[in-house]
Structure 1
Amino acid sequence: MHSIKEYTPCVDGYAGKDVNNTYMCRNLDLYSFTPHRDLGSPRMQLGNDIWGWSATRTSDGVTREFGLIGQFDGTAFVEVLPTGQIAYLGRLPPQSGTAIWRDIKVIGEHAYIGSEAFGHGIQVFDLKCLLDPSLLKSPKEFNIDTDLTAWYYDGLPRGSSHNLVSHAEKNLIIAVGAKPRSDISGLILIDVADPSNPKTVGCTGEVDYVHDAQCLTYYGPDTAYNGSDVCYSFNEDTFTIYDITDPSKPSIISSTSYYGVTYAHQGWVIDEKDQSYLMNDALDESYKQGSDQKTVTYIWDIKDLSHPVLSGHYKSPVVASDHNLYVANGLVYESNYKSGLRIVNASSVTKDPTGAGFYEAAFFDVHPDDDEIGGDADFGGLWSAYPYFASRYILLNTVERGLFVVKYNKTD
């Protein structure tokens, strides 16, 4: 698999350069592709999570955009150039062993990197290091002993976590999915107001295993919780809402199972300023709602936090399992493993929360290997996407291939 270093628009349903590097698409143009081997991965060259960071120069107001690329054997750092190409800047090795599960979040100018590898803890990395112009010519392998702002371990029973959740307004990083499951595997709340000295301030104990969550200050229609801090969490067989206003005493507001749940995995509110509706994936392809193996996304009416209601679902037109989704400006960016990035217009939700008005606005299929058989609901392909850059470039981190940079070419 070779890199693609020039803009290749989506034309007649395809983007790319040759038979092994051509991808089905609609309304998403390809700006570059970089394989994991060119992102410094020395071992299995497998990707996982991804996040982004933007820095604006005070001298001229120019904003630089950076991608933080999770890999089996560490974290790669890239700059997204104005042309949509990327510059590889370097990488941070893992703190302990390798792991397919690595997760990255950003608060302020620091990245927080967790892993399921025992003993890894959470690496705290100062992203201002990436502003060094010398990295554009000479990428650096950062040192885990001398280049970290901090290393957090104490609050994790075995030093591992499945995911990290950020609540930037309150300077909280929340580790979830710690091991062993018989110990503290729910929310572990970490105060990072001082990034050089992360402190555990609370946890939910052994109540539930939390796989992933979104935590934020509540500004929604449920007046009982207005201004409170809440976590919308996905606990395998339930959608659970926590009140973490006092992080030392988190409490459950509601815990709801639902028809078709196989593995409540991850989700995001559709509008962070309103928080009336939320969508989540469930890894349920081949079961009940997903019995035809076409991706199912669930829609929740959360206007009453104590009694959330499953109001509907959206089904993708193609076969694939879903993994992570994020929402920006009414568009849902779904990383649907082997069918790639699927952008769903969910702007009709306030008028019709059943999902009947949702539609697929664009897609970019990162895994052409299964095109001839009509898709595949197995693991592989796109792990996660980052859709929050002001430039509108979207970063796609794939398991087997590498990093794609695409851009939605329509205005909805």
Structure 2
Amino acid sequence: MKFFKLTIYVLLCVLFSITISCDNDDTSPPPPTSIDSDNDGINDDDDNCPNTDNLDQLDTDNDGEGDVCDEDDDDDGVLDVDDNCPLTPNPDQSDADNDGIGDACDNTLDPLFRCENGMAGPYPCNGIDILSMIDVATLSGSPTAEGSDIWGWTDSTSNKEYAIVGLTNSTAFVDVTDPLNPIFLGRLNSNAGSNFWRDIKTYNDYAFIVADNVGNHGMQVFDLTRLRNVTNPPETFTADTVYNGVGSCHNIVINESEAIAYLVGCSSTNGGGPIFVDISNPMNPTFIADFIGVGYSHDAQVVTYNGPDSDYTGQEIYVGSNENEVVVLDVTDKLNVTIISRFSYPQLGYTHQGWFTEDQRYFILGDETDEQGFGFNTKTLIFDFSDLDNPALFSTYFGPTAAIDHNGYVLGNDYFLSNYRAGMRIIDISNINNSSNPMTETHFLDTFPSSDGAAFNGVWSVYPYFPSGNIVIGDIESGLFVVQKSQ
């Protein structure tokens, strides 16, 4: 009996000991270590290079391994020790000028013609290098074609840059991502014959193209993402769709904050005034309305207004260059357009094209024939638009040559002027508030060196909006120039 009790007692003790042990079992993870092997102030558990001092924790390719201990910082498959751009992905290791720095990160590319002693090859210059050129015959496939408008597109997926070059017979697409070695990808032929005026604008990943005085051309729509997959250039493209609600049009305007194309100078019953087309579905452009109240518009700019006149903040403002006057319209409601103001100016020849400064305080206007008609040098007019109801001529700028001015665009404090026979001129407008000295020319490239006279040769237009800072020029006789400000 005593033995039995003793046995029961021992078993109870064992069970009690097991219970106590289980109750005290701590299965939670151990506390984080406070070890800092490289003494950089960051514990090893949080350090993306625990054995190498890197207080900034920089991780270019976001792979969890800090740059100082990552053998391939840009994750392009090429080890840093062999990579000619160790912080910029470039698996092809392209190095056009063979300077040991890959093209993807080389800011000192060796241009086709460097601007030295006032000349870039055969072209007079000031501070503009020519990176590359493609002639009109190559782009157009014709020995008699000429160049006209030019625009650009940057692929948001790949960041590649493309020039879209208007020609008398077609539209050419050129990959200018490597500005020293542009790739002519192909052309989209005219929808209805050849003529001098072809104009292009982009919205999202589509190009919209019109042509003037060529019959029933309509508005061609081209899906620019197709350029990603060109394997055997140059190709002959076809349009993805054509909007046939118009025949010929001189120009197209797109405010990229709204999905509306403004077709102007069209051979239509509204006398060439703006026609509003919904392009929110680019494959199905849809007529909204048109406006006949101010007659023919040769060109225009439309902005979502955020300038000094608070009466119109947030409104869609249309500034039309209408041959013999400038018109300012509120086009927010396409079915109920209102005229804000309309005005002319002294020594008027042909009111051609203009562009807002970025603060929308001033509007810079070019008159295409006043140089011929009045005999003065290139004249640019600056209007004060601080009160849209009462714009006022603020100042004028005269260039150094007698050449005709054509299209002009603003980027920051630079005004990029296509100046026909005087080429491309870049004019500093940082002092535009000063009426006595509002503009100063800082750079130029003269693509028609034989003459700076007042005639229609040379640069038709310029596109300065690529993120790379490279500029593309459309020249009537010479085709495409890819240029940059001298480094």
Q: Read off the aligned partner of 2:225 and give its amino acid letter.
A: K
2:113 is the counterpart of 1:8: yes
Call closer, same or farther: CA 1:197–1:65 in 2, change over 3 Å: same
Q: TM-score with structure 2 length normalisation?
A: 0.75
Within-5 A mapping of 1:84-103: 84-103=180-199
Call closer, same or farther: CA 1:355–1:111 in 2, change over 3 Å: farther
Q: Read off the aligned partner of 1:90 and give its amino acid letter.
A: G
CA distance in 2, matches of 1:170, 1:199: 14
The residue aligned with 1:241 is 328
Call closer, same or farther: CA 1:326–1:389 in 2, change over 3 Å: same
CA distance in 1, matches of 2:230, 2:281: 27
Q: TM-score with structure 1 length normalisation?
A: 0.88
Q: Read off the aligned partner of 1:23 and give its amino acid letter.
A: Y
SS in 1 for 2:129: strand
2:456 is the counterpart of 1:356: no
The residue aligned with 2:366 is 281
The answer to whether the Cα contact below 8 Å between 1:203 and 1:250 also exists between their aligned partners in 2 is no
Compute the displacement of 1:133 (Å).
Answer: 4.5
Compute the displacement of 1:204 (Å).
Answer: 1.1
The residue aligned with 1:19 is none
SS in 1 for 2:372: coil
Compute the displacement of 1:56 (Å).
Answer: 3.2
The answer to whether the Cα contact below 8 Å between 1:233 and 1:239 also exists between their aligned partners in 2 is yes
Compute the displacement of 1:379 (Å).
Answer: 0.6
CA distance in 2, matches of 1:301, 1:212: 19
How many correspondences in the alignment?
376
Call closer, same or farther: CA 1:127–1:390 in 2, change over 3 Å: same
Compute the displacement of 1:38 (Å).
Answer: 1.6
The answer to whether the Cα contact below 8 Å between 1:203 and 1:249 also exists between their aligned partners in 2 is no
2:152 aligned to which of 38, 42, 52: 52
1:321 aligned to which of 404, 429, 434: 404
1:170 aligned to which of 240, 258, 266: 258
Compute the displacement of 1:191 (Å).
Answer: 0.7
Q: Deviations over 1:169-192 (max 9, x none)?
A: 111110101125x64311111110
Compute the displacement of 1:37 (Å).
Answer: 1.3
Q: Read off the aligned partner of 1:8 and give its amino acid letter.
A: F
Q: Deviations over 1:271-323 (max 9, x none)?
A: 1xx211110100210344xx32x100000100100000010111101120011
Compute the displacement of 1:383 (Å).
Answer: 0.3
The residue aligned with 1:115 is 211
CA distance in 2, matches of 1:84, 1:212: 33
CA distance in 2, matches of 1:51, 1:126: 15
The residue aligned with 2:388 is 305
Q: Deviations over 1:70-129 (max 9, x none)?
A: 001000000003343311000000111111100000000000000011100000000000
Structure (1 or 2) with the larger CA radius of gyration: 2
The answer to whether the Cα contact below 8 Å between 2:140 and 2:170 also exists between their aligned partners in 1 is no
Within-5 A mapping of 1:81-230: 81-116=177-212, 117-134=214-231, 137-143=232-238, 148-154=239-245, 156=246, 159-179=247-267, 183-205=270-292, 207-230=294-317
2:365 is the counterpart of 1:265: no
- Which consecutive residues of structure 1, in runs of 5 or more, have no partner in the other structure? 17-21
Compute the displacement of 1:39 (Å).
Answer: 1.4
The residue aligned with 1:406 is 483
1:330 aligned to which of 405, 409, 413: 413
Call closer, same or farther: CA 1:387–1:262 in 2, change over 3 Å: same
Q: Deviations over 1:348-379 (max 9, x none)?
A: 113x1x25141100000000122xxxx21011
Call closer, same or farther: CA 1:97–1:133 in 2, change over 3 Å: closer
2:455 aligned to which of 378, 396, 402: 378
CA distance in 2, matches of 1:303, 1:83: 39
Compute the displacement of 1:43 (Å).
Answer: 5.0
CA distance in 2, matches of 1:326, 1:231: 16
The residue aligned with 2:161 is 65
Q: Deviations over 1:144-195 (max 9, x none)?
A: xxxx3321122x2xx0100100111111110101125x64311111110010
CA distance in 2, matches of 1:206, 1:305: 18
Compute the displacement of 1:249 (Å).
Answer: 1.8
CA distance in 2, matches of 1:207, 1:6: 47
CA distance in 1, matches of 2:314, 2:445: 38
CA distance in 2, matches of 1:7, 1:55: 25
The answer to whether the Cα contact below 8 Å between 2:112 and 2:130 also exists between their aligned partners in 1 is yes
Q: Read off the aligned partner of 1:89 and give its amino acid letter.
A: L
CA distance in 2, matches of 1:286, 1:93: 34
CA distance in 1, matches of 2:179, 2:325: 43
CA distance in 2, matches of 1:227, 1:311: 25
Call closer, same or farther: CA 1:84–1:242 in 2, change over 3 Å: farther
Q: Read off the aligned partner of 1:338 and give its amino acid letter.
A: R
The answer to whether the Cα contact below 8 Å between 2:111 and 2:129 also exists between their aligned partners in 1 is no
More strand by share: 1
- Which consecutive residues of structure 2, in runs of 5 or more, have no partner in the other structure? 1-109
Call closer, same or farther: CA 1:100–1:67 in 2, change over 3 Å: same
Call closer, same or farther: CA 1:276–1:357 in 2, change over 3 Å: closer
1:367 aligned to which of 448, 454, 463: 448
